Structure 1
Amino acid sequence: MSAGRHLGAAAVAALATSLLVSAPQAALALDDPLLDGKAEGSSEYGLIGDSLTAINNIYGVTVDAAGSIWYAVTDDSAAANRGIYEYRPTGFDAAVGDYRGNGEYTETGGYLTSAWEGPIQYANRDSTAADPAGGKLPWAEPRGVISLDDGGIAVSDTNGNLSDPPGTILFYDDEHRIAGNAGLGGDQGCSELAEGELAWAPFFTVTGDRLFAPYEGCNVVSVFEVPGGDPLYRLTGEGQTAGLENNGPVTDGPGNLDEIYGVSSDGDSIITSDLGFNRATKAGMVQRWKVDDPSGSWELDTSFGEDGAIAFPNQMIYDTVVGPEGYLYVVPQTGAVLRYSNDGKELLDEVQVRDVPYTQARDLDVTTEGWIVMTAKGEHSLRLMARAPSPMTGFTGSPGALAGSVELAWDENKTVYGQAPVLDYVVERSADDGKTWELIEREPSLETSLTVTELEPGTYSFRVTAYSEAGRGDAATIDSVIPSEEAPAIDVSLTGKAPATPGAGEPIVWTATVTNAGNTPLADAEAVFMRGADDAEETVPVGALDVGDEAVVKVTTETTPEEVASLTAENAVAVQAIDPSGGKVAAQATATVTLGEPIGPVVPPVDPPVDPVDPVDPVNPVTPADPPAVGKGAGSGLASTGGAPGIAALALAALLLGGGAVTLLVRARRTV
């Protein structure tokens, strides 16, 4: 009798679909250029979220402690749209966005659509989170919005003359209920500033329990207590006097305010931004000040920028924002937002995205991940931006274990501050030294290795690129990679299991393990046992074997009296299979089983005695020679493989020769 079962090799079975791919049958090109707004290099920013619409008169924006995105809409032409809006977080999954795999994107709004719900309009000043459409106090012209440490937000409703209560900056708790307000409406008569008058404060900041708010036309920064809104003191430039008509700059250099529009803070100092159109240079300025709260005064920090300021000739500056990492973002009236080092001495880059530019940014905030949430005039008015993945490193390639395969590996591309999570490594191949590239199509994967199979003989180049929701980073390329050549091979081992009960007619189970030991698949494998059922030759089909596969086949024989007498049993097996080119591979093995001592005397079977007849002299019988001595086996009862040539080896050779098979040496294998 015989039995068979297949065992997949562990090394091959462990390969996931994303790790073992066949080369594409047809060239699949990557999208180039990418979808508008997606980065195409590591130095670029890319859109990871997008309102996909133009929001008229959008202004300030902030991200609160709970992750909600808030923005203001002044919309003086359509009062029904005026107010503040909230996108509420719903749960973030980096894989749910615009990226679809294989370097392709769709345009669905990205993370702004998948990770937030909204926008939710707060129709009135006194609308709450529980009832956003409720309330009775209409908005005037909401512009600036900032988050507060207690989880709430503050909103600058700049035209306080039109509102009740008259405060122009309102403080809200984490349920969006009014907790206080600061600043009184006024007529911007700078020579008659009332205590607490604050009619135009677009961009402001709160540090601790202090509110610092600009009064543009009067070139002062008013300081209030938070959240009660009590006025404390006013600040202005060197040589300027708060409360004087036309309180313009005294000089064109640092230390003076000219149409101050925004105030921000890095936690230690106050940073002002102004429009600067009254200066001879028409230069807006960003300046940093050290505030002394007890004396109600400040001093220009001359270590910042150049002598305390960054000047922008012929450019008005709306606002500055200090991100969690300390970088300073400068928002000009037109053109790209600029990112500076914290000391204002080095311009690091422009915050802009490819093919979706904005002509006028309004405001921005920076999330804890370092993503930029921006409001801008025109299309794509609310956008989330992140930096592209870092350049790829550690890329290697070598011949693979399979024929026509290569093994690729690279370093993990770790997500750093300011980047969106890496979603995929896209691999391409080239057979013409990089002149053209073909995509190796597969599901998105973060594995850092890949086996590419079914490559034709030749020399290849490969490149790997990291993709995120923001776009792609810089690729890494390797050249002159040669796939493995074909090396088919088969192997076999044979063992036997002695019967539990000594004696003739007891079963011996012979087990052959057939292995594809080469690097190509094999077909039509079979095992031929010298002895099988009925003590005759037995062929057991094995079938197809993938690289590394094993097949276990068994036959059973019965012990013969001769084997019982010699205390040993022998068998042999020969295997062969067909390789992909049509050639044959073969191998063979032998095994000897030591049998246990029988109980009682063993009498070898003999034929009935017959006197031999001499053919020459038929009258006189021939005296038979003494029979050869029968030696004992090792007596261990363990199976063995190989061994010195004996009756098993001689019988195997006769079997192979008689069947027209190739000659096989013990444990040897070769390709026919």
Structure 2
Amino acid sequence: MTAATGLALAPVATALAEPACAAPNEETGWRTSLDYTAGKAEGSGKWGLIGDVKTRNSRPTYISRNGDVTDNNSADVRPCGEGAVGCRDVTYNYGVGVNPVTGDLWVSDSGKVCHGRFACSAAGLGFLNQGQAGTPRVFQYAPTGTDQEDATDYKGNGKYNVQPADRNYGIGKQFVELANRTVHQNEYVSAQIPNLVHGPRGITFTKDGTTWVVDSESRQPNNATNPNRIKRYAPDGTIIAGAGVAGTWVTGSTTPGNFNSGYSVSLTTRPDGSVLANAEVDDTLVVFAPDGTPLPKIKLDNPTMTGGLTHPFAPHANGNRYINPYGVASDPEDGSLYLSLVNFRDDDKNTMAPFIEKRAADGTTVTQFVGEGRFNEGDVTFGPFVNDVAGSPTYRHMFAWSQSQSAIQEFDKDGNFIREWINGSTADANEQETSKTVATPNMAIPRGIDFDKNGFMYVTIGEGTDNARVQVYGMTPNPIDQASAKYVDSNYQSATVTWVDAPDTPGAADSKSDVLDYSIELSEDNGATWNLIERDRSIVKSYTLENLDPAKDYLVRIAAWNEAGNGDWRIAPLRKARIELTKQGAFDANANQINWTFAITNTGKCPLTNVEITDTLTGISGITYDWANVATQGTLAPNESINASTTSAIEMQNQSQTVVNTAAVTAAAGNLEVADTAEATVIIPTVKPTPDTTPEATAEGTTEETPEVAPGGQLPKTGSTSLTATLYTVFAGITIGTGLILFRRRNAS
């Protein structure tokens, strides 16, 4: 990217008054000449990284066994609960949600329970059969009230700040920083074995603003304070009565609200306000009323098949076709259910392509297999999540991915694949114009997804790593709908550029962050190369370019920018308006007048209006124009010509006369006036006094009459004596005689 030099850019009024000389809507596209910033998108309707919220300290804090705080990860420290001896700050962020009532951001930290000696040893917990590598807790980030313009990390001229490690980024600055968040931890500490068997994961909200968090690992009665499997919080963050009990596997209870010790990571709110949670191994969905009252569970085994589908899971020896759910999500309109299944990792490992099972709202009837071929074989499928924000571009879309895939797969409500979200940092990787891939830095180990009222997407990533955070995604601005460029001075050194964006739907959750700036690029070689006009960040939709080179032709390109990247640009050619006048005159001896004729030509690239000739010669008559169409008189399209004519009377004299006449033509090209002049010279011949017509006697006694002047100024010859009256009629641009130029033309732009 090269910045233009020698050009000044001054702001002018924002109203777009389309000048006749402007060239709107000439060409549009999506990639600019500006340097690419990783994570940002190019072109309208594309997804880019617009912010993040930090969930762990930028530098891990280690506490040695003797209680000393250090940043040395030495052999005498091991991960465990925050604040305890031998702990380090590790965040296993999992669930995420934006409360639709309060706007608070909620993030769960599962604490990462290990099962088995090998897994626990890898987590630094020795040869335990079960242990907690981190601290089970839930974070609540209050909104800061910061508007998008102040929260931005966009600097102007298509440049962004580098994603920082020690603070929230971009739109993430609309939430409090890590140090000021609320940490809910006490309800995830067990009475018998501290920090051993808890794992807050899935998050959902009911319409009254109550936050629900499922505690995947809880084993009652280990937590005497809050023994419920699901923890609930009032809109102000106060812990309130929970819902459901973990139960035990041996009972096989059908009691509402009993998970039968089934592992649960997922919550979803249905259109009727009820809440569902998955119960792995129990093969059920546990159902609750909005107030937490348990409702009859939904059994998933042996579903009814529709649409000619045949379930690929083979019945077991007892004839039972087990459906083991890892996650559940509900469609916000028809209540259809999406299920991710553990079967692909366990019972049917590496025997078929995984899919998301879609069921009718009652949960007993399978209607579709979604995403076959998009997930890794032998893997648990994470998710699903469904966007429930009405009006947003991905409304009712379903998101899911394989555990080892780190590539989120997106499908519409009919099960069609839309795009995938992967890790990447180059413009080509994130080229969404022709591909179905969103590539942004740090997209690894995704665990939870939610959408806010704007349609922004929140994703927890980097579970247990230094990159643990919530990344926020939004869409690029609308295209530039109209763009016009016109000169504002007759020297072609200043020009005004004006534009308008394609309109937004008022109040829509369109996933687009606010427009922060417009880039303006110039090309002097018909678009082969472009130079950015460096300027301060501005959302004014009109600018004046100054110090332009009159000898050059320019193209102007404008694009809108927001936190996600740039929208589609539009090109407006900067066209010069020109007009040319030619003039000629001829003496008419019979009428004693000069006949003047004009030719007017639009030699520029702009339509002209108010075309008019001014001729101040004494005795001139009115000017007649040969307009072909009365409806368009006074106008000339580029390359169009029109003729005009007039006369001026001549008083004949006894000596020759030279008549020099200068005429001017003016026209308008939008607000710019163009003009030209032309000069013509006519020489009137000498006219002698009328002679005595009495015949004179000659030497031979004869007489000779004086001949009359013939029309055109040529006297006839008679005998040996002749009289000649010479008429010079000079046309514009013609050389008379031996190089004498009697006409000159003056031009003015």
Contact 2:54/2:177 (CA < 8 Å) preserved in 1?
no
Alignment of 1:147-166 (within 5 A): 147-161=205-219, 162-164=222-224, 165-166=226-227
Change (3 A) 1:143 1:14: closer
d(CA) in 1 for partners of 2:11 and 2:253? 80
d(CA) in 2 for partners of 1:257 and 1:415? 48
- Corresponding residue to 1:58 among 93, 103, 106: 93
How many residues align structurally?
Answer: 444
d(CA) in 1 for partners of 2:245 and 2:279? 12
Change (3 A) 1:209 1:15: closer
1:261 corresponds to which residue?
A: 326
1:386 corresponds to which residue?
A: 474
**Partner of 2:281: helix, strand, or coil?**
helix
d(CA) in 1 for partners of 2:301 and 2:385? 21
1:202 corresponds to which residue?
A: 265
1:407 corresponds to which residue?
A: 496
1:359 aligns with 2:444: yes
**Partner of 1:92: helix, strand, or coil?**
coil
- Displacement of 1:436 in angstroms is 2.8
- Displacement of 1:87 in angstroms is 1.5
1:447 maps to a residue whose letter is V
**Partner of 1:37: helix, strand, or coil?**
coil
2:726 corresponds to which residue?
A: none
1:105 aligns with 2:105: no
Change (3 A) 1:202 1:371: same
The CA deviation string for residues 36-89 of structure 1, in whole angstroms up to 9 with x for no partner, is: 222233353211111367663110000002111101011246777430111211
1:104 maps to a residue whose letter is K
Change (3 A) 1:434 1:230: same
Calculate the TM-score normalised by the size of structure 2: 0.53
- Displacement of 1:144 in angstroms is 1.0
Deviates more, 1:466-475 or 1:111-120: 111-120
1:176 maps to a residue whose letter is G
1:168 aligns with 2:257: no
- Corresponding residue to 1:145 among 203, 212, 219: 203
d(CA) in 2 for partners of 1:414 and 1:87? 33
- Displacement of 1:395 in angstroms is 2.7
d(CA) in 1 for partners of 2:532 and 2:39? 22
1:91 aligns with 2:145: yes
The CA deviation string for residues 106-162 of structure 1, in whole angstroms up to 9 with x for no partner, is: 1354344431113324242559xxxxxxxx999811111112211120011111214
**Partner of 1:114: helix, strand, or coil?**
helix
1:274 corresponds to which residue?
A: 341
2:552 corresponds to which residue?
A: 458
- Displacement of 1:477 in angstroms is 2.7
Change (3 A) 1:311 1:475: closer
1:338 corresponds to which residue?
A: 409
Change (3 A) 1:330 1:18: same
- Displacement of 1:380 in angstroms is 5.7
1:235 aligns with 2:299: yes
2:243 corresponds to which residue?
A: 182
1:348 maps to a residue whose letter is I
- Displacement of 1:15 in angstroms is 2.9
- Displacement of 1:184 in angstroms is 1.9
Change (3 A) 1:288 1:336: same
1:116 corresponds to which residue?
A: 175
Change (3 A) 1:47 1:83: same
Contact 2:243/2:293 (CA < 8 Å) preserved in 1?
yes
1:349 aligns with 2:442: no
2:242 maps to a residue whose letter is N
1:418 corresponds to which residue?
A: 511
Q: Whose relative contact order is higher, 1 or 2, with alpha carbons under 8 Å and at least 6 apart? A: 2
Unpaired runs of at least 5, structure 2: 1-9, 17-30, 57-89, 113-122, 124-131, 189-193, 305-311, 423-437, 581-745
Change (3 A) 1:474 1:354: farther
Contact 2:303/2:365 (CA < 8 Å) preserved in 1?
no
Unpaired runs of at least 5, structure 1: 1-12, 20-28, 128-135, 241-247, 293-297, 488-668
d(CA) in 2 for partners of 1:356 and 1:319? 21
**Partner of 1:144: helix, strand, or coil?**
strand
Q: Give the share of equivalent positions with the same residue, in percent.
A: 25
**Partner of 1:95: helix, strand, or coil?**
helix
- Displacement of 1:225 in angstroms is 3.7
The CA deviation string for residues 360-409 of structure 1, in whole angstroms up to 9 with x for no partner, is: 21111011111001111252621111012233332333333463123323
Contact 1:389/1:413 (CA < 8 Å) preserved in 2?
no
Change (3 A) 1:124 1:187: same
1:15 aligns with 2:79: no
